[in-house]
């Protein structure tokens, strides 16, 4: 069986981005002109996913509308002859995946949000993409994980992080294998710095999970922050020898915090033919000015 379903947990309140998130989900905040959730959905689809479940906390209206047809807007753009924009708008609603929504009724953490997907996923392996981690690079990161997956295994994306930043992440411990992956022995969610080792490997928001994760999730006690942690359920799978970690190729931006969002915005602008030259000359101009 291949991997064709994925879950996007999007139930956070986005308090770090208030007031922008007062009346809209943080996943709708755009990098330049594209909501971050669209980038995540596109990564899933280019990885081969055709069935997405978005776990939302409250109003999903704008996310649902974003991926739907917009007849009045399309008509307006057609009448004005703005065919480029018409294509942009239509392309979003033609994304080649079914997008479903489910509500996480109480915010009890990432693991709890994934558990809310249990009935929809059933007994299939599935992907998970965290909306705060925007990834760029030639091969979608979820695809890189799927390429290393084998039946019965679960897979997480990892990246080495500086020791003093490791306590922000889930950290994996294990042995390197000949193919560059890591056989994970254990994981800790947001461990204190003295437990992270010299070259900590952090989990970075992309997972391929065996459905065995659901029973592990329903058994784990609340962990870091009093929440049901996905990392704690993965630790159960790791102890059964069923978890590997993949150091992925690509760049990861943490758009869940402000500086990460600014970096992602600058990188996105420099990656676009219509903006690159202007943005570069503006950056040079302000960097030349004394502070
Ligand atoms: C979550 C996970 C953590 C992971 C991180 C990656 O934490 O719990 O294991 O390393 O995403 O971004 P959060 O950032 O939601 O606190």
pLDDT digits (tens, 9 = 90+) for 177-201: 999 999 999 999 999 999 998 999 9
Average pLDDT over residues 87-100: 90
Could you tell me if the CB of 235 is within 6 A of ligand 1? no
Ligand 1: centre distance to CA 202 (Å) = 9
Categorize the per-residue pLDDT at 78 as very low, low, confident or very high, splitting at 50, 70 and 90.
very high
Tokens of 17: 């981005």
Average pLDDT over residues 101-123: 93
pLDDT digits (tens, 9 = 90+) for 217-273: 999 999 988 999 999 999 999 999 999 999 999 999 999 999 999 999 999 999 999
In this prediction the pTM is 0.94
Could you tell me if the CB of 253 is within 6 A of ligand 1? no
Domain ranges for the chain: 5-256, 257-291
Q: Residue 138, exposed/middle/buried by CB under 10 A (0-12, 13-18, 19+)?
A: exposed
Could you tell me if the CB of 110 is within 6 A of ligand 1? yes
Q: 5-256, what's its fold?
A: Spore Coat Polysaccharide Biosynthesis Protein SpsA; Chain A (3.90.550)
DSSP E strand boundaries for the chain: 5-10, 30-31, 34-35, 51-56, 98-103, 126-129, 133-136, 154-160, 170-176, 182-189, 201-209, 243-247, 251-254
Residue 110 CA: which ligand 1 atom is closest?
Answer: 8
């Amino acid at each position: 069986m291949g991997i064709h379903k994925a879950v996007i947990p999007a139930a956070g309140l986005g308090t770090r981005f208030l007031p922008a998130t007062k009346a809209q989900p943080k996943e709708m905040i755009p990098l330049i002109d594209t909501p971050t959730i669209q980038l995540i959905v596109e990564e899933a689809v280019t990885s081969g996913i055709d069935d997405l479940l978005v776990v939302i906390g409250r109003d999903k209206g704008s996310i649902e509308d974003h991926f739907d047809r917009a007849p009045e807007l399309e008509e307006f753009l057609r009448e004005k002859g703005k065919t480029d924009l018409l294509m942009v708008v239509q392309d979003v609603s033609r994304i080649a995946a079914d997008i479903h929504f489910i509500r996480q009724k109480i915010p009890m953490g990432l693991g709890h949000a994934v558990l809310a997907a249990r009935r929809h996923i059933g007994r299939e392996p599935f992907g998970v993409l965290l909306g705060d981690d925007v990834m760029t690079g030639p091969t979608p990161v979820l695809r890189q994980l799927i390429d290393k997956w084998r039946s019965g295994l679960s897979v997480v994306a990892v990246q080495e992080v500086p020791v003093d930043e490791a306590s922000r992440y889930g950290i994996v411990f294990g042995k390197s294998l000949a193919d560059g992956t890591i056989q994970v022995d254990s994981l800790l969610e947001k461990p204190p710095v003295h437990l992270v080792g010299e070259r900590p490997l952090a989990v970075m928001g992309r997972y391929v999970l065996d459905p065995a994760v659901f029973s592990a999730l329903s058994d784990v006690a609340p962990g870091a922050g009093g929440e049901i942690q996905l990392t704690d359920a993965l630790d159960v799978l790791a102890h059964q020898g069923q978890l590997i970690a993949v150091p992925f190729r690509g760049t990861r931006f943490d758009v869940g915090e402000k500086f990460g969002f600014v970096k992602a915005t600058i990188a996105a602008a420099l990656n676009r033919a219509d903006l690159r030259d202007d943005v570069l000359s503006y950056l040079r101009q302000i960097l030349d000015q004394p502070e």
